[in-house]
Chain A
Amino acid sequence: MLKMFDGAMGTQLQALGIADSPCPEYAAVTSPAQVTAIHREYVEAGADIIETNTFGANRLKLKDFGLENRVGQIVAAAARAARAACGRDTLVAGSVGPTGQLIAPLGACSFDEAASAYEEQIKALAGAGVDYILIETIIDLQEMRAAVLAAKAACRLPVIGQLTLGENGRTVTGSGAAAAAAALEPLGVSVIGLNCSLGPEQLLPLVAELARETALPVSVQPNAGLPTVVGGKAVFPLSPEDMAAWVPRLVAAGASFVGGCCGTTPAHIKAMKKELEKCRPSPRRPLPAGVRLSSRGGALWLGGGHKTALIGERINPTGRKILADELKSGSLIAVKREALAQAEAGAAVLDINAGVPGIDQAAMMRRLVEELSAIVDLPFSIDSAQPEAIEAGLRYFPGRALINSVSGKQPERDAILSIAKRYGAAVIVLPLTGKDLPETAEERLKIVGGVIRAAKEAGLGNGDIVLDALALTAAANGSAPAETLRTLKLYKENFPCPTTMGLSNVSFGLPGRELINAAFFLMALANGLDAPIINPLAKYIKELLAAASVINGQDSQGIAFSSSHVSAAGEKAAPAAPPGDEDILDALLRAVARGEKESAADLAAKAHGQGRTVIEITNRALTGAMDDIGDKFARGKAFLPQVMLAAEAMQAAFAVLKEKAGRQGRPPSRGKIILATVEGDIHDLGKNIVSTLMQSGGFDIIDLGKDVPAAKVLAAAEKEKPDIVGLCALMTTTLGAMGECIDLLRKSGYAGGIMVGGAVLTAGYAESIGAGMYASDALSAVKQAKEWVKGRKV
């Protein structure tokens, strides 16, 4: 069934001069007859569905005009104005546009604030008797989710969800057709579509892509082309005939609802309707089997012959004290590291568990999904035994998540299934009842059968269910692993659902756990495991999965395997160990120059153990290495990070020597240097680098820090009597403070050296403020300091 929407409302209101008093939506209150007249023109042009003039009639948007308390009045007036224009078969869609704010963590508006504003608007639309809720021009999938959830809470009307994509096929917050379809279809929208921002030509391939990704009807409402400038104004260039010519192609690409957005008029709709009447709906291909999950940026299929997907299990504080303590303290640093590391190691889904006793798990789950989804673009598996924590995870996750898990245990089963339905989530079904552990595959089959029936009664389908085969400990029950493998097989024979399980339980209490887990992993894959819950960083797993994918045909002809092998072979081999007959100090020099901290410490200890003196070790190996790398730096053959690595290695070697010999035999200091970043300047990385390399060069350093007043520099100089005062400034605005500091030092009788440096400094400026030395970089600072103290001692 093909349907024609209407065209633009805003431009029509503007043409009548009633768009800005104070906003387009208010025109329904102040000029209802004129709004009705616009609707009527569209009805007469052939629109099957007209849209209420309520695009921005949510309280967040109306607040800009002081109308936030008039949502009900505006919506009712707009619905009346639309109804008054309807023909016998005309339907009315209640238009719901964006709030104008991005939802946290991408913006300052909370998900709940947006959902509540939408619910108020949609309730008013439903109360005013519209036939559809049309959520349109949405640029962020999370905002669409908030609006759809609000619509489902407010009424039972069919919901049309239209996103706005760029030419790259994504919303500005990065969601494409697959992510949108995967997230919105299970939430219960009736139609998914696209509108605004592009013309029909640019939207055509995106409609085709959306039609491939969803089983639902597709709608499209293009602008009248991409805007061009005529007489200093933007105009939409496509004529009614131009737009009409695209209609058959849009329908062939999969659209069954067609309309117009910016720049379209009743004339456009009339011409487009004429073409639409000649079209037949395009046949649509069914979606593949399996369960689809999504993140903000992409979608992923589990089962149905798709690639094996690893579910990363490491964000789980159970039995991990450090992680639990950190979550308790409110810090997410370790959790973020785990998320990034698992993603890097090839996890396709991240399991998120906030199960720390004594904390508000729902609040923590919300924080975890909001913050982790901003740094890792993967679907999440919300892992909790608490329905309220599961709900928090699902609500605030910008995609379609998986629930880990639901079992046959009541009343939790029904509570979790109802949450899954409301949020469009998929569920892992665990073969447990809360009573005895089911030992045999047949018992497990029976239990999951019961849960599947309950899930279907709750409105879920095969595309929403993943079955857990329940891995138990081999050390406690010798036949458990074989029974789990048999369970996998039985599941596959009886249900069209993907399978999962937490693998590592199997090796609990045994030595060589990684090996046992790896063997079980391979055997489970062979028996039909689709989505192992596993540590993707564990030994063997990544490599075995790559190899197994060649064997089972998921990596056809081993193409991915071959290319990853080629790139691994291309990585540099580790440096060879020093030959046995090499002098230990030469080996130490090489280790320091390469920045090999552990080797340097080790070799320094060995050299001392062989009776080499601290002075000899320092001068020949450590300082020698720093001189070498300094020369290379000066010639552009080495770079600052390598110099710093060498400095670290040198200090590691020094620390060992200090420990072995105390101050005895320590080489004499080259001199004393005070360092400071001048007043008003809060940068200190450059100064810290100078400090490090000066220390590596044998100087004693007194670092006064950043934003240091001149008086403090002077006080330190009078107390410490340094050979050199080094001042640093990064900004033009703080160069004055540098000059003032030097003046103060000289006027107070300081006669030592003064060295300056910093990004905006030049040798000329340094000279003009009376600094005797100017260093353009840290190594040049060390070199000049050495020369200066040498000259002084001569």
Chain B
Amino acid sequence: MTSSDPLRDPARCKELLVQIEESVKGSSLRFMEVCGTHTVALFRSGVHSLLPKSVVHLTGPGCPVCVTHESEVAAYLELAGRSGVIIATFGDLMRVPGPGGASLKKAHAEGARVEVVYSPFDALAIARDNPGDKVVFLGIGFETTTPTVAATVRIARQEGLSNFLVMPFHKLVPPALDALLSDPDMAVEGFMLPGHVSAIIGMEPYRPLAERYHVPAVVAGFEPVDLLQAILLMTEMKRQGKPKVINNYKRVVADEGNPKARAIVAEVYKPVDALWRGIGTIPGSGLGFTDAYRAFDAFEVLGVELKASKPLPGCRCGEVLKGIMRPDECPLFGKACTPAQPVGPCMVSTEGSCAAYFKYQLDLNTDR
């Protein structure tokens, strides 16, 4: 599947690999990508298999499915199967295991009305077509997906559609980075920052990374050259002891982000504390409806509550998401936990770190 794209040019990639090797000589570094799409891109392009052994690339909390808290999963599963309720969701959530092995896929087989959609607008269309039912869209995702959901809610309000509801499970990246860096167990020496999220929020929210925590960070694209350039920039900043936050994805990410998208989100949502799987509550890291849009909050309208629920026994998602543990170091990895029989969501989601290791890594434990 060749492409004449200079961002995939094998010769340029080789050059960058040599430079990285030079730059890390004598030291070993632990970097983390914050975005699930980066995790997959690193494996799919083969970058993971080519990095020098002294550069460890960890997967972070960047897959929205993986960070969806078990009590959030329990909450939407409680709705699935209620009469008069249609759940509309992105496909990734279908197989996420909930309490007692429940999942949307199983609920669907048992008769719950669950529709996989490609966009929240599709969920709106379902609401228009089924005026007698409540259509609940599961709003999970980071800053990238939220503006579209907010726009959909706004259209629903303009149209006076009162049967379209959202479960706001949205999460915000900067507060999570802050929480990670404040954790004394955390041992990450550089962040590959998410390209798509940054296109919305811009560079400003990342400033504390370098200023307060002295950690280098690079906003990166998803092609092999993008990935390698970001890694090289991090190793160079480490070597020189000059941590900065660099936008190396200028063709997509403007330093000021996308103010229009942020305005739509700010009209519909306000920051609230949110629960992250394996991490716990992070202040101001989620979004709840503003008063003007409360009528679209599935929690309020349908009387659902987040109830404390036990973490999945044995699952080490929290340590994986914090970069303390590599997925293949989890005792259940590849044994009790596989994509066919997932214990945790990290093994389910297409962008989940455990799934990526399981799927792409050649020889677990030895080929790194």
Q: Do A and B come from one complex?
A: no
A binding-site residues for B, Cβ under 8 Å: none
